[in-house]
Amino acid sequence: MGFLRHLSAFIDGLNKQILSLASWLCLFMVLVQFFVVVMRYVFGTGSIQFQEIILYMHGILFMVAAGGTLLTNDHVRVDIIYNNLSPRKQATIEFIGC
């Protein structure tokens, strides 16, 4: 059982580090999007390649950050409804949300 606890702690730590990396990826994605907007509206040239990069970065961001947000309980849900439910129904929603 000790091995599984150590493995779980290792995976949790890895998820937290990945979540930190994802926050930097989000900042980089915003900067690339800003670059695309400036290029398009200031200089009049669009770039499909950069728009594709942003699309893929957005997908990667969601996939990479999902585990960390579930670990830190920061994922999005409707708290008005969620807080009024029984613990069993809350657990069911958490399970379905995974």
Tokens of 78: 């409707």
- Running DSSP on this structure, what letter comes out for residue 43? S
- pLDDT tens per residue, range 56-80: 989 988 888 887 887 777 777 667 7
The CB-side HSE value for 95 (13 A sphere, CA atoms) comes to 6
Q: What predicted TM-score, i.e. pTM, was given to this entire model?
A: 0.63
